[in-house]
């Protein structure tokens, strides 16, 4: 009996110690309101505990983790799976056609990734008009890329449009000393552009004429070669016949 009593007492003492440990609070984590000075003939209120900053901070962090963290994780999610695969919602397509559409879309996406020049790019303007109005950057059609400086801006236009064109315009004005009225910079620039365009068109016409003439000569050469081959075959047959006649007794 004595052993049992001592065991029960020890068990009760251990539970009491645990409760004391749990109820113990760190005094450095508490906040108090203290008076800086004591005054005479006035009752001074005792120092009162007004809060526990560390515990309040811990509760605030826990409430944020339970509310804001969950909302942030669910941000942008609709809680459902949307099938955005090509042709998956079209019942008329079979599996091969769906695969072909997905493959084509993937190839198009990879191609567009490396296309730096887009047709939807904004047009460059200067003083309210686009740069293409004066065709400074236009290239002529069917231009042979192997030829050097073909289809590019003329040196006279570059000197006027890009660098002020003092010498070029002065030279044109000297050539028109007999005229009663001097041309303005805009008129001189328009005239230079017209000359450049005319030179391009003349080169284009000469190139087309050369191509047509080359094709015509090629056709004539083919006909001539076919005729010479036919004559050669006929002469060969005649020689064979002559040799056969000579061999007969």
Cα distances (Å, whole numbers) of residue 109 to 98, 112, 120, 136, 206? 17, 5, 17, 33, 42
Contacts of 154 (CB under 8 A, 6+ apart): 192, 195, 196, 199
What pLDDT sits at residue 172? 58
3-state secondary structure at position 140: coil
What pLDDT sits at residue 30? 80
Phi, then psi, of 110 in degrees rounded to 5: -70, -35
What pLDDT sits at residue 60? 92
Q: Is residue 249 part of a domain?
A: no
Question: What are the 10-residue block averages of pLDDT along the chain, 249 residues in total?
Answer: 46 55 73 71 65 85 90 79 81 87 84 62 63 51 49 61 55 55 73 87 90 89 75 61 56
**What domain count does the chain have?**
1
Q: Is residue 184 part of a domain?
A: yes
Q: Is residue 190 part of a domain?
A: yes
Q: Is residue 118 part of a domain?
A: no
Which domain covers residue 179, as residue numbers?
A: 125-222
What pLDDT sits at residue 105? 85
Q: Is residue 37 part of a domain?
A: no
The beta-carbon contacts of 11-20 under 8 Å, at least 24 apart in sequence, are none
Tokens read off for 135 = 């065709």
Q: Is residue 66 part of a domain?
A: no
Q: Which residue, chain included where needed, has tokens 């686009």?
A: 130
Q: Is residue 28 part of a domain?
A: no
Q: Is residue 67 part of a domain?
A: no
What pLDDT sits at residue 53? 83
């Amino acid at each position: 009996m004595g052993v049992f009593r001592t065991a029960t007492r020890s068990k009760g003492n251990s539970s009491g110690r645990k409760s004391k440990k749990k109820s113990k609070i760190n005094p450095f984590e508490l906040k108090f309101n203290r008076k800086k000075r004591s005054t005479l003939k006035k009752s001074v209120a005792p120092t009162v505990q007004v809060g526990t900053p560390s515990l309040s901070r811990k509760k605030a962090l826990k409430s944020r983790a339970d509310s804001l963290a969950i909302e942030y994780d669910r941000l942008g999610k609709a809680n459902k799976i949307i099938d955005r695969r090509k042709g998956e919602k079209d019942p008329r397509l079979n599996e091969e056609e769906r695969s072909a559409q997905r493959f084509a879309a993937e190839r198009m996406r990879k191609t567009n990734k490396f296309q730096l020049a887009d047709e939807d790019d904004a047009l460059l303007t200067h003083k309210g008009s686009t740069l293409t109005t004066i065709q400074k950057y236009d290239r002529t059609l069917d231009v042979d890329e192997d030829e050097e400086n073909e289809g590019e801006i003329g040196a006279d236009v570059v000197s006027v449009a890009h660098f002020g064109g003092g010498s070029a315009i002065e030279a044109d004005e000297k050539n028109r000393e007999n005229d009663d009225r001097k041309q303005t910079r805009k008129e001189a620039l328009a005239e230079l552009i017209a000359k450049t365009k005319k030179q391009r068109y003349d080169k284009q016409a000469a190139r087309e004429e050369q191509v047509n003439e080359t094709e015509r000569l090629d056709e004539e050469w083919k006909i001539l070669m076919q005729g010479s081959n036919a004559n050669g075959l006929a002469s060969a047959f005649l020689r064979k016949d002559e040799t056969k006649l000579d061999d007969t007794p």
